[in-house]
Amino acid sequence: MSRLGKEWFGLARLNLAGRLATLLRMPGQVMPAAFGRAAMRVLRLAVGVALSKERCLACYGLRATDSPVCDAVLCAACARELAPRLAGYCPSCGELYAQADDPPHLCAECLRTPKPWDSFFFHGPYAGLLKDILLAFKFRQGLGHARLLQALAAEAFFLRGGSGLPDLLAPVPLHPRRLAWRGYNQSLELARDLAHALDRPLCHSALMRIRHTPPQARLDARTRRINLLGAFRADEAQVEGRRVLLVDDIMTTGATIEQCALVLKAAGASVVDVLVLARA
């Protein structure tokens, strides 16, 4: 696809997303939940139809149809840029080390205080092309990226030793107020595709956000943890005695993931594994 063609397609996709997002967030209007879900399905369908099987899901350029990379969804250039981080990180929390070729080893914080989860899976640093895709996926209705991100998530799960399949997947939830503003939960969309790939049930109500909190982005690590106290509740009937895979898109300080894992364990989950796409 030419540069002009890619720009046109990108603008058309964002225009469609913008129209739907505006409709869903129109002040003073109450949209039925079924309409909102249908609108997002239309958006995903429109993007999926626009992409043929021969196009890279990151840049929309032509790719080799026999590529073995990431379930054959990337061109060679994007596959190199989206290669998983194989070294230079903490296997417990994904903290990234300055020396990217250091063997994986526990960071000082995890040695002092073990995390409340049992296993941690991530794809790579929150930077470059992965960051661009996640920003579009999270804030610009870029749900057309779901298939690519699911492939990256599945790759991270199996690449980092995820041999024990979960009993269920639980996305990090949004408060209903935030969900109404954004129109969708990006973690739920990611978990939906991943659950299909792993052939495991997705339980979107296993974990609920019961208290609205200010956005975490501008808060320091300590304030983030305080901000989230009492914000989540787990459904004991769904998680007791079960292995839960907690799914989110990005982990920064880990405050959100930590609170979710603690709540799941308190509700009786036997094992809580964590999967995020990017570590900031």
Give the pLDDT confidence score for residue 56 in this predicted structure: 85
CA distance 17 to 25: 12
Tokens of 149: 């991100």
- Asked if residue 102 belongs to a domain, the reply is yes
- Asked if residue 68 belongs to a domain, the reply is no
Q: Is the pLDDT of residue 8 over 70?
A: no
Give the pLDDT confidence score for residue 40 in this predicted structure: 53
Q: Is the pLDDT of residue 151 over 60?
A: yes
Give the pLDDT confidence score for residue 21 in this predicted structure: 44
Which domain does 122 fall in, by range?
84-279
Structure confidence at residue 33 as a pLDDT band (50, 70, 90):
low
CA distance 225 to 13: 37
- Phi then psi for residue 118, to 5 deg, are -100, -40
- Asked if residue 44 belongs to a domain, the reply is no
Structure confidence at residue 106 as a pLDDT band (50, 70, 90):
very high
Higher per-residue confidence, 80 vs 30:
80
- Asked if residue 14 belongs to a domain, the reply is no
By percentage, how much of the chain surpasses pLDDT 70?
A: 76
Give the pLDDT confidence score for residue 160 in this predicted structure: 84
Chain CA centroid to CA 245, Å: 12
Of the candidates 122, 245, 137, 147, the one whose C-alpha atom is nearest the C-alpha of residue 184 is 137
Number of domains in the chain: 1
Chain CA centroid to CA 85, Å: 16
Tokens of 100: 């990217």
**Torsion sign, CA atoms 174, 176, 182, 185:** positive
Q: Is the pLDDT of residue 19 over 70?
A: no
Which ranges of 70-228 would DSSP assign to H, the alpha helix? 76-81, 108-112, 128-139, 146-159, 176-182, 186-198, 221-227
Give the pLDDT confidence score for residue 9 in this predicted structure: 40
- Asked if residue 75 belongs to a domain, the reply is no
Structure confidence at residue 162 as a pLDDT band (50, 70, 90):
low
Q: Please check whether residue 46 is in contact with residue 172, taking contact to mean a CB–CB distance below 8 angstroms.
A: no
- Asked if residue 12 belongs to a domain, the reply is no
Of the candidates 31, 118, 127, 122, the one whose C-alpha atom is nearest the C-alpha of residue 84 is 122
Give the pLDDT confidence score for residue 53 in this predicted structure: 58
What's the whole-number mean pLDDT along residues 27-36? 48
Higher per-residue confidence, 134 vs 10:
134
The CATH number that applies at residue 90 is 3.40.50.2020
Give the pLDDT confidence score for residue 142 in this predicted structure: 84
Q: Is the pLDDT of residue 129 over 90?
A: yes
Q: Is the pLDDT of residue 154 over 50?
A: yes
- Asked if residue 40 belongs to a domain, the reply is no
Strand partners, 40: none
Q: Is the pLDDT of residue 22 over 60?
A: no
Q: Is the pLDDT of residue 5 over 60?
A: no
Q: What is the largest CA-CA distance in the chain?
A: 55
Which run of H or E residues covers position 277? strand 271-279
Q: Is the pLDDT of residue 18 over 60?
A: no
What's the whole-number mean pLDDT along residues 30-43? 49
CA distance 158 to 124: 14
Give the pLDDT confidence score for residue 76 in this predicted structure: 85
- Asked if residue 33 belongs to a domain, the reply is no
For the entire predicted model, the pTM comes to 0.77
CA distance 68 to 63: 11
What's the whole-number mean pLDDT along residues 199-227? 86
